[in-house]
Amino acid sequence: MNEQLLSFVEALREANVKVSQSEVVDALQSVSAIDVLDRDLFRCTLAATLIKDVLHRTLFDRLFDIFFPASPTTYYREIQDEERASEELELSEQRSRDIRRQLIDALLDDDQLALRSAIRRAVTAFAGMEKGRPVGGVYYTYRTLRQLDLEEVVRSFLYGLTQRQISEQDQSELNRKPEQAMKSIRMEVESEVLRRLVGDRGSSAVAKTLALHLPEDVDIVHASRDELLDLQRFMVPLAKKLATRLSRRHLSTRDATLDFRRTVREAMSYGGTPATLYFHKPKVSKPEVVLISDISGSVASFARFTMQLLYAMSNSFSKMRSFVFIDTIDEVTEYFGFGNDINDSLRDVTTKAKVVGLDGHSDYGNSFDLFEKRYLDAVTKRTTLIICGDARSNYHPGKEEILGRIRERSRHIYWLNPEPRSYWNSGDSIISSYSPYCDGVYECRTLRQLEEFISKGV
Amino acid sequence: MKFDSISHVEDLLKKQGYLPNKEIATVVYLAARLQKPVLVEGPAGTGKTELAKSVAHMLKMELIRLQCYEGLDESKAIYEWNYRKQLLRIQAVDVDVKQQWSVLSEDIFSEEYLLERPLLKALRTPSQSVLLVDEVDRLEVEAEALLLEVLSDFQVSIPELGTIASKQIPLVFLTSNATRDLSEALKRRCLYLYLDYPDIDREREIIESKVAGVTEALAHQISDYISKLRDMDLKKRPSVSESLDWAASLVEMGVVSLSRETTIATLNILLKYRSDIDLVKSSLQSGRMVLG
């Protein structure tokens, strides 16, 4: 048991969760203080002692399921029985229909146990799992779902629902049902496959093949659409953090000026000895931010990411203007106004913003030129300028002197580049000609890097 | 203070009118058992501070509260010398004795001239107390260090007096709205509890237990509607206390069942931003959002 716990910790660490030795000791102590047979309780206890960031919880839960599956012993006996039974039965059309029927009934009755047992049968019949193969199970899940004919199942389920008596209140719920059913079937199949893989090859091996990572380590440039959508949740706290960083007051007394009047007055109660020094409260600066983002094809998924950031930021900054460009620059501030949902904003940016005036390939020089001509009033001494892009200007002139002029007028310029540092300045990348005018150029292809920029760079 | 079991914690909290889920009860139990501080994180208005208060109440312990803010320092958090009194003491001595500075300095840096601030107080009260360090994320990173010695060793070092160890180990709750990351050093020393908005059922129970005269049907509607609101992209999502206010006002108005009109008319209790109210209003009017 302790050994399993330690390999669990090992897997967490491998996925980049920082777990210190003292936390492991806490976990072991806590576990000895509770009833470990209560799985939920066991899960809470480990989470409270090992995970100190709510964003790490999803990963924790997935690994927990791998390392501490529900009631394993009786469970594997059941599977074995089923597998023996399945050897006798050919995989006939009749059997598939049978399984489907069982699944639909379970859904209609909203019976979790029946659902699980139907899924178990389905995985046995359809997944075609081979022992000892070092795979993550995606393929098995896919095979099961395909042969199960998920859409057909959901259709029959809906039909069955409408046959039953439905009150008016439920009517509005009806629209959500198919999606819920699909989701729960998919999740059940996934966890069932996972459980069998663990039974076959052991927790640590499976955890390794799955190569789970924290949301902050997802590579934005190669992320799937779903992963990108998922990142949205983390953007808002990050944008807030950026806002607090930029408006941070300098409260250290060394920078403050002495409030002579108050110090002398308070000193009277100490018989004239100025025992306490009082300082003027520093003014809170309202951060002004201008974000300029390349949204050309070469950085498409990064552009989506910056748009997400922009969206989150526009809710945290009162004074913020945003611009996008490919070879021409356009202002998009209003598309991110209050009450606009992120998808509306994105649609508006792609359909309304005029970013192509020439050949439709990124042109940094021209875009900066137009920015200076049209929007220079957006930049004041209090402005922090953030430029997002890979600085690949397709061999167009970079016109870095313009950036120099903008720099003179602004407070800071930061550049976030989605390319790995090793690619910089190769080919048509001209990042080094811009970097002298920036207060910092950062590689930014994961949330972690973005966070580092926010907490250390700014 | 140790609890008999986790369900014991649950019962005690319930008696205080705080409805815990299993996770909350478990963490409180472990905190008492392992004598570890608890870091409670989550959005505003989910009952973080309330938890510490309820725990203090149910154990009949004194609640000592340290409200954090930017610029909080040692003299506000731990201790300060009572300069006034020291000065009076110095002026009061005889001119002859004035020579004996060593005697005097020993005297004015003694307990008598020490002003206790919350952290020191929590350690020195004779009976066990509950220490609430509220909104710890408002401290600057550097100021977090003030807490570390107290939290891990339950002691405070005062150069003139030496180390003051605690007479008993207080139950410590730190709350944070996660506006910034807390340092690893601090997190490592704490148990972690994330308090999210309650799910529909728990919220309904909370409303039923806190708002007198609310019918089950109305509480159900309210909690269902609030959870829909929290799924929307709002500037500030309604907190539990706001949904309680709303429920209380609805009961006051004699509402039996939520209608679109009453909801629109009372939205300002739930939502605090003009833009949020407009957004919800328009989605209600257009029928995109349906009252359960």
pLDDT tens-digit map of A297-319: 777 777 778 888 888 777 777 78
Spell out which chain B residues touch chain A, with contact meaning CB-CB distance below 8 angstroms. 6, 22-23, 26-27, 29-30, 33-34, 36, 39, 41-42, 70-71, 83-84, 87, 91, 140, 178-181, 184, 187-194, 233, 235, 275-276, 278-279, 290, 292
Please report the ipTM that was assigned to this predicted complex.
0.85
A 88-147: CB under 8 A from B? none
Q: What's the number of domains chain B is made of? A: 3
Sheet hosting strand A383-388, strand order edge to edge: A329-331, A319-325, A288-294, A383-388, A412-417, A440-443
Beta bridge partners of B162: B158
- List the domain range (segments joined by +) for residue B104: 79-116
Q: In the predicted model, what is the mean pLDDT of residues A76-92?
A: 62
Q: What is the rounded (10 degree) CA torsion for A236, A448, A414, A418?
A: -110
What tens-digit pLDDT sequence spans chain B (292 residues)? 578 889 999 999 999 889 898 999 999 999 999 999 999 998 888 889 999 999 999 999 999 999 998 888 888 899 999 888 888 888 777 666 556 777 777 788 888 899 999 999 999 999 999 999 999 988 888 788 888 888 888 898 888 888 888 888 999 999 998 777 788 899 999 999 999 899 888 999 999 988 888 888 899 889 989 988 888 877 788 999 899 999 999 999 888 888 888 888 898 888 988 888 888 888 888 766 666 5
pLDDT tens-digit map of A246-276: 766 444 445 678 888 888 888 888 778 887 8
Q: Are residues B168 and B91 in the same domain?
A: no
Token pair belonging to B274: 């003009």
Q: Are residues B159 and B54 in the same domain?
A: yes
Give the residue from B135, B160, B194 where a domain finishes: B194
Beta bridge partners of B191: B38
Q: Are residues B152 and B52 in the same domain?
A: yes
Q: Are residues B222 and B264 in the same domain?
A: yes
pLDDT at B115: 92
Nearest CB to A273: which of B36, B39, B87?
Answer: B87
Q: Are residues B182 and B280 in the same domain?
A: no
Q: Which amino acid is at B246?
A: W
Mutation target to probe the B interface, by most B beta carbons within 10 A, among A19, A50, A54 is A54
Question: Among A241, A312, A316, A216, which Cα is nearest to B137's?
Answer: A241
Contact between A20 and B184 using a beta-carbon 8 Å cutoff? yes
- The shortest C-alpha distance from B130 to chain A (Å) reads 20
pLDDT tens-digit map of A342-383: 777 888 888 888 888 877 888 999 999 999 999 998 898 888
Q: In the predicted model, what is the mean pLDDT of residues A391-399?
A: 88
Three-state SS for B138-175 is HCCHHHHHHHHHHHHHCEEEECCCEEEECCCCCEEEEE
A381 neighbors A409 (Cβ within 8 angstroms): yes
Q: Are residues B137 and B89 in the same domain?
A: no
Q: Are residues B139 and B69 in the same domain?
A: yes
pLDDT at A431: 92
pLDDT at A253: 47
Contact between B178 and A455 using a beta-carbon 8 Å cutoff? no
Task: Using alpha carbons, list the distances in angstroms from residue A122 to A75, A95, A180, A273.
Answer: 16, 10, 19, 85
Question: Count of CB atoms within 10 A of residue B126's CB?
Answer: 7
Q: Are residues B50 and B160 in the same domain?
A: yes
Q: Are residues B188 and B204 in the same domain?
A: no
Contact between B190 and A276 using a beta-carbon 8 Å cutoff? no
Beta bridge partners of B41: B176, B194
pLDDT at B291: 63
pLDDT tens-digit map of A431-443: 999 999 999 999 9
pLDDT(A88) > 60 = no
Burial class (CB in 10 A: 0-12, 13-18, 19+), A32: exposed
pLDDT tens-digit map of A9-43: 999 998 889 999 999 999 999 999 888 888 889 99
Domain ranges of chain A: 2-67, 72-213, 256-283, 288-457
Q: Are residues B69 and B189 in the same domain?
A: yes
How big is the A-B interface in CB pairs under 8 Å? 94
Nearest CB to B30: which of A45, A249, A315?
Answer: A45
Mutation target to probe the A interface, by most A beta carbons within 10 A, among B191, B232, B234, B280 is B191
Q: Which fold has domain A288-457?
A: Rossmann fold (3.40.50)
Pairwise CA distance, residues A146 & A142, whole Å: 6
Token pair belonging to B286: 């257009």
Higher pLDDT, B178 or A428: A428
Angle between helices A203-210 and A177-201 (to 10 degrees): 130
pLDDT tens-digit map of A180-234: 888 888 888 888 888 888 877 888 888 887 777 787 788 877 777 777 777 777 7
**In-domain check, residue B290:** no
Nearest CB to B83: which of A40, A270, A338?
Answer: A270
Q: Are residues B47 and B129 in the same domain?
A: yes
Contact between A54 and B178 using a beta-carbon 8 Å cutoff? yes
Calculate the CA B210 to chain-centre distance: 19
Beta strand pairing call for B162-165 and B155-158: antiparallel
Measured between beta carbons, the chain A residues lying within 8 angstroms of B178 are: 54, 237
pLDDT at A251: 46
B10 neighbors A28 (Cβ within 8 angstroms): no
Q: Which amino acid is at A162?
A: T
Measured between beta carbons, the chain B residues lying within 8 angstroms of A20 are: 184, 188
Q: Are residues B23 and B55 in the same domain?
A: yes
